[in-house]
Amino acid sequence: MKIKEVIVVEGRDDTAAIKRAVNADTIETGGSALNEATLNKIRIAQQRRGVIIFTDPDYQGERIRKIISQAVPGCKHAFISQEEGCKKGDIGVENASPETIIRALAQVRTEMSEPQGEVTFAEMMQHGLTAGPQAKQRRLKLGEKLGIGYANARQMHKRLEMFQISRKEFLAAVKELDQEGNE
């Protein structure tokens, strides 16, 4: 499977994992040591081929994702869960199976510079995604189903808007969550 866009990853091991799964070019950020030269490479790649940000499902990965998103608008995003990227207590894209990487790339989402979400924060509350004993787990599963990764309640709402998740898509995913919870 050949990927047209350039995939932005954190390091060498992530590049190796991507190349085991698909035929793609990567730009490595060098972990959290993201500098202006690397951001310029990402800008050029975005203009010429498009960019998919595929960082680790941890705090540093999210921080890097946010920095790149702000510096290079309109990027696509691929996500894996912490569980899918965990091996012997280490969390990262480099630990994901080729099948997981292929699935994440198939579910890639494009960030919109003018977020126009249909889902309100009140609807998230109504469906148990903002508070309560199961809210965190429900957001985790919702993020997996929608291919937008895990986030706290405010960030999840922002992602729903940023990736223009429709109310219909949101409600279908919530319905699946509810059905899984009743099994």
CB-count exposure of residue 41 (10 Å: 0-12, 13-18, 19+): middle
Q: Domains (ranges, CATH) in the chain?
A: 1-111 (3.40.1360.10), 114-183 (no CATH)
Burial 49-75 (b: 16+ CB within 10 A, else e): ebbbbbbbbbeebbebbebbbebbeeb
| Percent of the chain surpassing pLDDT 90 | 75
The token pair that represents 9 in the structure block: 């990853």
Q: What is the pLDDT of residues 84-121, one digit of tens each?
A: 999 988 999 999 999 999 999 999 998 876 656 789 99
3-state secondary structure of 105: helix
